[in-house]
Amino acid sequence: MQTIRDVAELRKAVEQLRKSGGRVALVPTMGALHAGHMALVAEAKRQAEHVIVSIFVNPAQFGPNEDLGSYPRREAEDSKLLELEGCAILWAPDAAAMYPQGFSTRVQVAGVSEGLDGAARPGHFDGVATVVTKLFNQVRPDLAIFGEKDFQQLAVIRRLVRDLDLGVEIVPVPTQREADGLALSSRNAYLTAEERVAARTLPRALGEAAAAIQKGGAVAEALAAARVKIEQAGFGQVDYVELRDAETLEPVDRLDRPARVLAAAKIGRTRLIDNLPVAPL
Ligand code: PAJ
């Protein structure tokens, strides 16, 4: 596996890969890789001959009071894992390579990036859309793999690819979870032992809401009950618990199409997000 930090070198290396034929898959990440990320890499391997993983902790998607400074950085360990999986290239630019002096362009996807995390984290999805556009232009992959864990991000990227004719196939991978249901996340490392136990209430409450809605229960009641459960478990701030259209993320008050129940809540210093599918029977 080659580790590359310069765009011109990356272009040459990808060109070399392309000469041997087959598809090129990109797995964009911010590193501190866990089994959730590795499920994306495994899917990339199933679907493409050449797998490129990017690691870039993107300053543009962190708010001023967020965890950019403390975000875990473990490139040496990450690199070993990716090498074992047979990845061709680790694309790991630094901030100056990604955002050179004078950088002035921003990609903004309206609609789907508003509300939910877009409301709780102003500018976050502009940062994501901008860096993903750059990553796609740098690597020019045939396909790119994203996790359903970040469901709104996945919807934003699908819209972005359609709107700007980026010509990259977007492949989703279901959320990978701990045995008690907690979605794997680099941010789980911030949880104290007590918070970690309480955190499992988030997926449980969503699961119960999804089941109630699926059975024909009133949407508002099911969401309100989930919110109470999450608060009672010790989450301090619940940003949202909502049912949304699975594609457009528009609010859904009656289950008449594929939907998603999504939540974000803070426990101690740590903000967790999760979501589950709900479809009409
Ligand atoms: P990061 O949080 O590192 O996540 C990288 C990819 O891994 C995303 O597609 C995310 O949805 C997926 N992922 C994380 N946890 C997962 C889990 N438990 N199960 C399945 N997939 C999971 O998301 C980002 O980085 C950034 O916003 C990025 C797209 C790289 C742009 O900077």
Encode pLDDT of 29-67 as tens digits.
Answer: 999 999 999 999 999 999 999 999 999 999 999 999 999
Cα 82 to chain centroid distance, Å, stands at 19
Look at strands 89-91 and 143-147 and give their pairing: unpaired
- Rounded CA separation 45/86 (Å): 8
* Phi, psi of 242, deg, nearest 5: -145, 155
Of 149, 151, 158, the residue with max ligand 1 atoms within 8 A of its CB, to mutate for a pocket test, comes to: 149
- The C-alpha atoms of residue 104 and residue 185 are separated, in whole angstroms, by 31
- Give 255 Cα–ligand 1 centroid separation in angstroms: 28
Using the atom order of ligand 1, give the atom closest to the CA of residue 145.
9
CB 184 within 8 A of CB 177: yes
For 42, the enclosing helix (H) or strand (E) is: helix 35-47
pLDDT of 191 strictly over 90: yes
Contact status, residue 254 vs residue 203, Cβ threshold 8 Å: no
User: Distances in Å between the alpha carbon of 264 and those of 59, 202, 231, 272?
Assistant: 21, 9, 11, 6
The pLDDT tens digits for 238-263 are 999 999 999 999 999 999 999 999 99
Instruction: Give, in order, the Cα–Cα distances in Å from 278 to each of 115, 192, 242.
Output: 20, 31, 12
CB-ligand 1 contact for 127 (6 Å cutoff): no
pLDDT classification of 16: cutoffs 50, 70, 90: very high
Q: Decide if 9 contacts 91 (C-beta within 8 A).
A: no
Domains and CATH numbers, the chain: 2-173 (3.40.50.620), 186-275 (3.30.1300.10)
Helix pair angle (219-232, 201-214), 10° resolution: 160
Place of tokens 């993983």: 53
pTM equals 0.98
User: What percentage of the chain exceeds 70 in pLDDT?
Assistant: 100
Q: Is residue 37 among the annotated active site residues? A: yes
Report CA(34)–ligand 1 centroid distance (Å). Answer: 10
Cβ neighbourhood burial of 20 (10 Å; 0-12, 13-18, 19+): exposed
* Ligand 1 site, residue 39, Cβ cutoff 6 A: yes
The average confidence (pLDDT) of the chain is 97
Catalytic residue among 34, 37, 50, 124: 37
Q: Residue 93: CB within 6 Å of ligand 1? A: no
pLDDT surpassing 90 at residue 95: yes
200-233 pLDDT, tens digit per residue, is 999 999 999 999 999 999 999 999 999 999 999 9
Confidence of residue 281 (pLDDT cuts 50, 70, 90): confident
Residues above pLDDT 90, as percent of the chain: 99
- Is 101's pLDDT higher than 90? yes
